[in-house]
Amino acid sequence: RKEVEQDPGPFNVPEGATVAFNCTYSNSASQSFFWYRQDCRKEPKLLMSVYSSGNEDGRFTAQLNRASQYISLLIRDSKLSDSATYLCVVPPRENFNKFYFGSGTKLNVKP
């Protein structure tokens, strides 16, 4: 099983829709979780960090489900500019330097 797994999508949604992606992880000891955003042919950039049950930043909410070992990213009121690939990162607790990325979920927000 891969360290971090994501549904590749694409998720095609209209503007204004609410969309959610999940990311499952295999290391039950992981304590910190991250969502990165990557635009086409660009470098990834940190979107949100999750250290406990969840985090909210404007239209974006990240939640952690430790029992089922997944994190989710919810985007409300989708904008065209939200179109991107969303990558999750779950460093293992025993070696926080191993920043393994999921393969990413592609989101297309359409007019």
Partner 1 sequence: NAGVTQTPKFQVLKTGQSMTLQCAQDMNHNSMYWYRQDPGMGLRLIYYSASEGTTDKGEVPNGYNVSRLNKREFSLRLESAAPSQTSVYFCASRVLGTGSEKLFFGSGTQLSVL
CB of 44 to partner 1, least distance (A): 6
* Binding pattern for the stretch 51-80 against partner 1, x by CB under 8 A and - elsewhere: ------------------------------
The tokens describing 7, both together, are 């549904």
The tokens describing 46, both together, are 């940190």
* Binding pattern for the stretch 25-44 against partner 1, x by CB under 8 A and - elsewhere: -------x-x-x----xxxx
Distance CA 75, CA 21 (A): 9
- Measured from the CB atom, the residue of 38 and 63 that comes closer to partner 1 is 38
Handedness of CA 65, 62, 35, 102 (dihedral sign): positive
Is 58:82 a contact under the CB 8 Å cutoff? no
Give residues in contact with partner 1 (CB under 8 A): 6, 8, 32, 34, 36, 41-46, 49, 87, 89, 91, 96-104
